[in-house]
Chains A and B, each alone.
Chain A
């Protein structure tokens, strides 16, 4: 297995940490602030094996090989976040993580500089540079890119955590009017060429795993990516954070906030991958998508949140004018959430779909599915939360027949998560 070359990212993160540490002493600012998030997880789940066990299960944890339910008690995540104020306007942020699924003992989730000078008019400018999550997820607003609403993010944001990361240069301008805020964000980025592999070959999933920058994630051994298969060059893994074709991508978004009661936004991403580039055992995937969101403060303290994502990914050479893989993907969710004192209850409905446009008889990537998620997040200490979650997912994926399972599968999962921050 070809291990990725980590040099540029390691150099970046070390440089960030060093310049942070030295500048801090000169300014007399607080030294580097560290924060740790530990997540202990009890899970009971029915149905097929997880995709982490080289299968096509939709959840982070799955049943055993015979489809029998499984219970587990695990450390789901240990995240270390470091923030340092280099100057009053410039902050460095690094997030590194350990978890059992990750194929490196520790890996980098984000490492970037954030420049935000004090506004001198009603337009404020800011910039971020480094390895970062574009602001797509409306759910992952908690410490270490967790969701305070549920343990498991929606299908959309599960995928963002798995495959979307950008080594980006991002600028943002925010116009503040009396009760409104309008923001325009634009970025150029690299190191996200394989993004889209999981959506095509595995499909959508629901899980809170975030892929580290140097880590690979597994693909189920479906016949098309086996030796002699239609896509035999594709290994049984993906390393999402890689530059392969030397072509920068871009993303841009427009966000509107009306008196914190209504929030609307549109985001567009194009990694401008060259679908014919194959390097380091990885294809560059040409992945483009829109993400839209709406958040409304409804009566009775209920907040309604919704995201809708639609896009396309392509990979491989052209045959008769058709790409080896050409798949449209769409997903959405609607969530109702309400605070109950310091606690929170959330109910979410997910829909997801992949439409394979080419060579379906050799390599069927079609999929359709839905999920229900109900979670109660109890604040049990100043920096401690206990979250209980019920999740049921139904999906139909004909590719399962290639690994001797029925296309139609469902899974029910109960999880209890104890999140402690230090």
Chain B
């Protein structure tokens, strides 16, 4: 089964002439909102004001789950991994952009990992098989993620043309949907795109209630 993803990009009147807020909405072919979709903006012009890079981000271990399920970051970001559980987690990834293993002994312990290469980093816990999350490391200066309603508001964009890259954990392999040359201006416009998602969605299930071993 193929799902269509419809991306609607509205350019809205910004608070200043030089910047615009952009609402992005992503839905599938059934009209259902698609949460956890990463939208990253590649400007086709030289930004006159540098975008402040988010130097840090957080991937929590809480209730035997990772949170958030999808974390978009820019290249060069240091992500902290705080453990809110009373027990150990052994977080790992063997994804190409970053291979690592983190040993988190107990509650309130936090360790960090620096992500210097772009790409998708799938996370697992060697102790808790149900745990699953993704860190999307983008080479673009602006990244955002849709909420449960499939929407995200990107604020204070510099007017101009952007390629908008969309990523989701359930993208059919090989697909890399891009909304090409989207013009962001003060008077706004609508852009739609179509991508294929796998019929079986990756989800992070809550832990089994009483695992024996």
Given contacts A141-B208, A144-B212, contact A28 B200 (CB under 8 A): no
Which residues on B sit within 8 Å (CB–CB) of A88? 90, 103
- Bound CA span A89–B94, Å: 16
- Contact of B187 with A by CB under 8 A: no
- Contact of A172 with B by CB under 8 A: no
Which residues on B sit within 8 Å (CB–CB) of A89? 126
- Contact of B111 with A by CB under 8 A: no
Which residues on A sit within 8 Å (CB–CB) of B56? none
Asked whether A85 lies within 8 Å of B88 as measured between CB atoms, the reply is: yes
Given A30-B105, A114-B213: 5 more A-B contacts, CB < 8 Å: A30-B88, A88-B90, A141-B208, A141-B212, A261-B200
Contact partner of A119 among B94, B105, B200, B211, CB < 8 A? B94
Which residues on B sit within 8 Å (CB–CB) of A28? 105
Asked whether A260 lies within 8 Å of B205 as measured between CB atoms, the reply is: yes
Contact partner of B105 among A29, A142, A146, A260, CB < 8 A? A29
- Contact of A281 with B by CB under 8 A: no
Given contacts A29-B105, A119-B94, A178-B173, contact A142 B212 (CB under 8 A): yes
Asked whether A116 lies within 8 Å of B126 as measured between CB atoms, the reply is: yes
- Contact of A7 with B by CB under 8 A: no
Given contacts A179-B200, A261-B200, contact A421 B103 (CB under 8 A): no
- Contact of A361 with B by CB under 8 A: no
5 interchain residue pairs of minimum CB distance: A259-B200, A118-B92, A179-B200, A143-B210, A118-B101
Binding site for B on A (CB under 8 A): 28-30, 85, 88-89, 93, 114, 116-122, 140-146, 148, 178-179, 258-261, 421
Asked whether B88 lies within 8 Å of A119 as measured between CB atoms, the reply is: no
Q: How many chain B residues touch A (Cβ–Cβ < 8 Å)?
A: 23
- Bound CA span A142–B213, Å: 9
Within 8 A of A (CB), among B186-213: 198, 200, 202, 205, 208-213
- Bound CA span A120–B126, Å: 11
Asked whether B90 lies within 8 Å of A118 as measured between CB atoms, the reply is: yes
Taking the closest CB of chain A, its distance from the CB of B173, in whole angstroms, is 7
Binding site for A on B (CB under 8 A): 87-88, 90, 92, 94, 99, 101, 103, 105-106, 124, 126, 173, 198, 200, 202, 205, 208-213
The chain A residue sitting closest to B103, CB to CB, is A88
Which residues on B sit within 8 Å (CB–CB) of A261? 200
Total A-B pairs, Cβ < 8 A: 51
The chain A residue sitting closest to B126, CB to CB, is A118
The chain B residue sitting closest to A33, CB to CB, is B87
- Bound CA span A121–B99, Å: 10
- Bound CA span A28–B101, Å: 18
Which residues on A sit within 8 Å (CB–CB) of B99? 120
Asked whether A141 lies within 8 Å of B92 as measured between CB atoms, the reply is: no
Asked whether B94 lies within 8 Å of A121 as measured between CB atoms, the reply is: yes
Asked whether B210 lies within 8 Å of A120 as measured between CB atoms, the reply is: no
19 pairs, CB–CB < 8 Å, chain A vs chain B:
A28-B105, A29-B88, A30-B87, A88-B90, A89-B126, A114-B213, A117-B126, A118-B90, A118-B92, A118-B101, A118-B126, A121-B94, A142-B210, A145-B212, A146-B212, A178-B173, A179-B198, A179-B200, A258-B200
Which residues on B sit within 8 Å (CB–CB) of A142? 210, 212
Contact partner of B209 among A30, A118, A148, CB < 8 A? A148
- Bound CA span A85–B90, Å: 12
Which residues on A sit within 8 Å (CB–CB) of B208? 141
Interface centre among B90, B173, B208 (most CB of A within 10 A): B90
- Bound CA span A114–B127, Å: 12
Taking the closest CB of chain A, its distance from the CB of B121, in whole angstroms, is 14
The chain B residue sitting closest to A174, CB to CB, is B129
Asked whether A179 lies within 8 Å of B90 as measured between CB atoms, the reply is: no
The chain B residue sitting closest to A93, CB to CB, is B213
The chain A residue sitting closest to B124, CB to CB, is A119
- Bound CA span A29–B127, Å: 14
Asked whether A421 lies within 8 Å of B210 as measured between CB atoms, the reply is: yes
The chain B residue sitting closest to A145, CB to CB, is B212
